A and B are shown apart, each in its own frame.
Chain A
Amino acid sequence: MYSVNPEHAIGIVGGLLALPMALIALRMHPRWRSVPGTVRAAAVLMAVSGGVHLALIPHHLATEPVTSLLFLLNGLAFIALAATFTWRYWRLASAGLLISTVLAYLVYVGIGFEGPDQVGLATKLVEVTALGLALVPVRGEAGRTHRSWRWATLGVAMPMLLVITGATVWIVDLTRPDPRHVHAGALLQATSTVATPAQVDAANRLYAATKTAILPYEDWHQAWAAGYRPGGSTTLPSSHWMNQRYVEAGYVMDPERPQGLVYANTHHGPVLLGAMFQMKSLNRFGPDPGGPMTAWHQHENICFTPVGFEFSLMTPYATCPIGAIDISAPPMLHVWIVDNPRGGPFAVDIDSSVVAAMDRS
């Protein structure tokens, strides 16, 4: 959802090429100056969307001929409407085409024909903006302006389309992540698919060494004395305790000096769950001696707020709540020293039922 599908990147090129072409071509229209600027802007944006759709045809032609045909019809319809902005039924036709195109995309994403990506989302934003500009009544318009139905359609369609698009794309992205995206925005390190016997042994050695090294920290006072400090709210089921000295030193997967410890916040105090190794820089994954067993992960597109050191997820529209900023955390690898039935000792996350059971005990 937050990245450009390489196969769709050509769509951006198509849209960017269509923008100056539409601006030049439409300016030559004899009645260009006789319509409101909002109509002109909507026509240009529809031409951009047409350019995106037409550019996507070659990639889909071999594998999805029906989709290619729909892209062709859609692209041509957008360009035709962009050129006929003085037509009597232009607004009605444009609104119908824009709304049906956005809804068709959502159906495609919903049933899994397309994965949600930045090209699709950006194009839908352009189309919803074009819809708003096509419909918004302008002061001083001549003739029958049908202001009431235009206001009603604008007031209902724009918010509805944006909310439904955002919700659909988000739900699909969270429920059907691609193989390298897990745990709501965490990007997994690329590894082999099956661990070799040597990698299994290496993973076991790393686990044993880490567990032995951090066992003293079962007493959280010792962790405190060693320089680990809790981050974030202790009302959450678990907290990461970070050692800033180790973070800044940049030790790489050193079992004696893990950058973080993870504690369950139980009613009888912090209970040690495991360790966390963290790299110093973004996009630089650490060594993975256990292959797929010890794949690192990097949290991307998270909204971080210094107010209480809390996190939420960036929306599909790339916005965060006021007071939070979009950040990514450098790659990390967890080693869970408690039984983690759902993911194992190096999983991205600890099983929530394990933490809940600790709290109840």
Chain B
Amino acid sequence: MEKAMPTSRPEAVFVLLLLQSIFWIVAGISALPFALGGEVHMIGLGLATLLVAVLVCLVAIGVLWRRRWARRTALGLEIVCLAGSALQLALPIGANHAPVTLLTNVVVPAAVIWLLWGRMTRSVFS
């Protein structure tokens, strides 16, 4: 019987957080042309989104290095994301319910939470 591999959950989470970070970079950049069109608050929102994207990237690196703070931050972030997405999907505000929305706003956060949850996974983080 072959030897089982050590867990690669942190690496999988790194990939998903990197993906999420790029989604937010695109969202942050997409707000900026509207600021040029006169929507001045979009500058702030766009820059805040880019800042969050950078933070998510740092958290991804922290998870890869098995840092406990990174695991906690990622869990907190994804729980907030998932709750926000659930609220947005449940409210009758005409939010998009298409496959990409479900993948990026529900499946990715849920997968990160699932991968980081539990005592076994927690034990690999120092």
A residues with a Cβ closer than 8 A to B are 2-4, 12, 31, 33-39, 41, 118-119, 121-122, 125-126, 128-129, 132-133, 136-141, 158-159, 162-163, 166, 232-233, 235-237, 282, 300-301, 303, 305, 307-308, 310-329
Contact = CB atoms under 8 A, between A and B. Distances in A.
A328 B45 CA distance: 20
B41 A308 contact: yes
A128 B103 CA distance: 13
A132 B99 contact: no
Contacts of A321: 27-28, 30-31, 42, 45-46, 48-49
A34 B5 contact: yes
Count class of interface residues, chain B: 35 or more
Contacts of B48: 321-323
Contacts of A4: 98-99
Given A4-B98, A31-B2, A125-B104, A311 B39 contact: yes
Contact of B98 (A36, A118, A235): A118
Contact of A133 (B12, B22, B24, B98): B12
B53 to A, nearest CB: 9
Nearest to A126: B103
A326 B24 contact: no
Nearest to A158: B18
Contact of A34 (B4, B8, B52, B94): B4
Contacts of B40: 233, 235, 308
A98 B14 CA distance: 19
A118 B2 contact: no
Interface in B4-46: 4-9, 11-12, 14-16, 18-19, 22-28, 30-31, 34, 37-42, 44-46
